[in-house]
Structure formats: structure tokens, C-alpha cells
């Protein structure tokens, strides 16, 4: 059945003739490119948990945005994004401050903050009885129901984030290797430290509407994990991330699976495959020696 779906060219042609499918294709490529641009920094800086952390940090902002839109008759999409951006940036700031002031490991500071923010969102929802909030789209994504506006926003965010990384590449690389030494050498470490949570928050927020917040952290980690980069900007990681996103989209359509989950599953299978190959190679070398 799957093989018939894959070779039925008329089905694929009719699918991509639809406007929603073309928007889904473009948006998937843009999300893949955005994750590919940031993946080297996420992995080299050992901040792979950032995507998952931000998903929880933005939850109370989404709740606040929903009720703000309902109370003042404002556009839902805009108020959701503004609310999520505020709590995401505030939460990221608190994670950094807790890490420095209390001398906590980065993951511990992140867990403490994200649980507090997520709990605040749950409490807010529980207190507002009789109101039905459908935030599933922002947790699991809905790339097949995106609009031209969503694709434009993704494109703008991708352009801005890529510009920051490419133009300031030397500063990013210095910050990744040794931030204290880089600061002494005159690199713009303070600027990069401020930009990092902003660009990652932007990526997570725009990725929410496409692949969902629960999937974006994996998409940020997989490319650079499979193709270890040496710099903050890696062409191989970028191209791989786009390819992975496209393969996941096509597989999701053929199998009638959720797009975001399928992309992550494909990436996870590739990670397992690489681990198996390396393990076999090491055993072979050990036996031969």
C-alpha cells in the first residue's frame, strides 16, 4: 500500500496542485532551514534542551494571548504570538539569571523555570471555567492549515536569523569556543549572549504553527548531531535539515501521519542508524586489532 502511494505520481501531482499543499511545502522548507541555521549553535553550546524549555515557557503567554484576543476583540494569531514572545523572552532571561546567581547547571535552571511557567498556564486555564481553549495546534503543529501570512512570517524570521548568524559569524564562533577569552579579545560576546535567546525564541514561536512546540526542539538538535559542525553556520547541517523536513512531509502525506511527528521520527531513525553503524565499526576495529 505504501509503495503504491509513493509511485502514484498522479496523486502527488494533484496534492501539490492544491494551495494548502504548496504552502505546507514552502513552510516546511522554511522551518527546516531555520532549524538548520540554529542547530550548530544549539549543539555546540550544549543547549539542546532550549527548544523544549521555550515550549513550556510560552504556554502561559499563549493562554494570556487567547483571552486578550477574546476580551478586546483582537486578532487571535497576533495576540498569541505576542503573549508567547513575552513569556518566552522573560523566561529565558530568568533561566540565565538563576544559572548565574544560584550557580546552577543550565539544565537545572531551565527545568525550574519551565515548570513554574507551565504550571502558571495550567492554573490560568483551570480558573477560567466554561471556556474551551484549543491550543493543540501550537503544541503539535498543523502545517497543512497554514496560510500565506504564516509562510511570509517564517520567511522573514529565517532571513533575519540567518543574517544575524552569518554577519556575526566570527563573534558567534568565538562565543561558542571560549566566551571569556573572546570577551577579552574584543569579540561582541555580550551582543551574542543577548541575541541567542531572542533568535531561538523567534524560531520556536514561528515553528509552533508548523511542526508544533513539542517537535521543534528535536528539529533544532538533529541536524548538527548527525553532521557535527565546526562553526556556528554549517551548510551541510542546513541542507540536511531542509532535506529531512521534506522527507518527513512526504512520508507524512503517504502514511497519513502528523507532519511534525513524522519529521522527528525520520530524524530519530537516522540518529539510531548512525549509532548502529558507528558501534559496528568500532567492534570491527576492536576485533581486527
Query: Which is higher by pLDDT, 15 or 260?
Result: 260
Which pLDDT value is given to residue 134?
A: 56
Q: How many domains does the chain have?
A: 1
**Residue 139 in contact with residue 207, Cβ under 8 Å?**
no
Assess if residue 289 is contained within a domain.
Answer: no
Assess if residue 288 is contained within a domain.
Answer: no
pLDDT digits (tens, 9 = 90+) for 137-163: 666 677 878 888 888 989 999 999 999
Q: Mean pLDDT throughout 245-273?
A: 88
Supply the pTM of this predicted model: 0.81
pLDDT above 60: residue 132: no
Assess if residue 286 is contained within a domain.
Answer: no
Q: Mean pLDDT throughout 187-191?
A: 92
What domain range is 203 assigned to?
2-280
Q: Kindly report the average pLDDT of the chain as a whole number.
A: 84
- Residue 191 C-alpha cell reads as 551582543
pLDDT digits (tens, 9 = 90+) for 21-39: 888 889 999 999 999 999 9
- Residue 285 C-alpha cell reads as 576495529
pLDDT above 60: residue 8: no
Which pLDDT value is given to residue 1?
A: 47
Q: Using 50, 70 and 90 to split pLDDT, how confident is the model at 130?
A: low
The domain that holds 120 is classified in CATH as 1.10.3470.10
pLDDT above 60: residue 91: yes
Assess if residue 285 is contained within a domain.
Answer: no
Assess if residue 34 is contained within a domain.
Answer: yes
The pair phi, psi for residue 244, each rounded to 5°, is -60, -45
Q: How far is CA 165 from CA 36, 186, 201, in A?
A: 12, 18, 15
Report the range out of 186-190, 260-264, 284-288 with the highest average pLDDT: 186-190
Which pLDDT value is given to residue 204?
A: 84
| Distant-in-sequence contacts of 19-22, Cβ < 8 A, 24+ apart | 20/144, 20/145, 20/146, 21/144
Q: Mean pLDDT throughout 102-123?
A: 86
Amino acid at each position: 500500500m505504501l509503495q503504491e502511494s509513493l509511485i502514484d505520481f498522479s496523486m502527488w501531482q494533484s496534492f501539490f496542485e492544491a494551495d494548502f499543499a504548496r504552502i505546507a511545502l514552502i513552510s516546511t522548507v522554511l522551518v527546516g532551514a531555520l532549524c538548520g541555521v540554529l542547530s550548530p549553535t544549539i549543539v555546540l553550546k550544549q543547549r539542546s534542551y532550549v527548544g523544549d524549555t521555550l515550549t513550556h515557557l510560552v504556554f502561559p503567554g499563549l493562554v494570556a494571548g487567547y483571552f486578550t484576543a477574546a476580551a478586546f476583540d483582537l486578532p487571535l494569531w497576533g495576540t498569541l504570538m505576542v503573549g508567547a514572545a513575552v513569556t518566552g523572552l522573560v523566561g529565558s532571561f530568568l533561566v540565565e539569571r538563576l544559572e548565574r546567581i544560584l550557580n546552577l547547571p543550565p539544565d537545572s535552571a531551565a527545568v525550574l523555570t519551565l515548570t513554574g511557567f507551565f504550571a502558571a498556564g495550567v492554573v490560568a486555564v483551570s480558573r477560567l471555567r466554561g471556556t474551551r481553549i484549543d491550543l493543540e495546534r501550537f503544541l503539535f503543529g498543523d502545517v497543512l492549515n497554514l496560510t500565506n501570512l504564516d509562510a511570509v512570517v517564517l520567511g522573514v524570521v529565517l532571513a533575519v536569523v540567518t543574517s544575524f548568524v552569518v554577519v556575526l559569524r566570527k563573534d558567534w564562533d568565538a562565543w561558542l569556543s571560549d566566551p571569556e577569552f573572546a570577551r577579552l579579545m574584543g569579540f561582541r560576546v555580550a551582543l551574542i549572549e543577548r541575541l541567542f535567546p531572542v533568535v531561538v525564541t523567534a524560531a520556536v514561536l514561528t515553528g509552533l504553527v508548523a511542526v508544533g512546540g513539542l517537535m521543534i526542539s528535536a528539529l533544532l538538535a538533529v541536524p548538527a548531531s548527525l553532521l557535527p559542525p565546526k562553526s556556528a553556520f554549517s551548510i551541510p547541517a542546513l541542507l540536511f535539515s531542509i532535506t529531512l523536513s521534506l522527507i518527513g512531509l512526504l512520508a507524512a502525506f503517504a502514511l497519513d501521519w502528523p507532519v511534525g511527528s513524522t519529521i522527528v521520527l525520520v530524524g530519530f531513525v537516522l540518529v539510531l542508524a548512525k549509532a548502529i553503524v558507528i558501534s559496528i565499526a568500532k567492534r570491527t576495529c576492536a576485533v581486527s586489532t
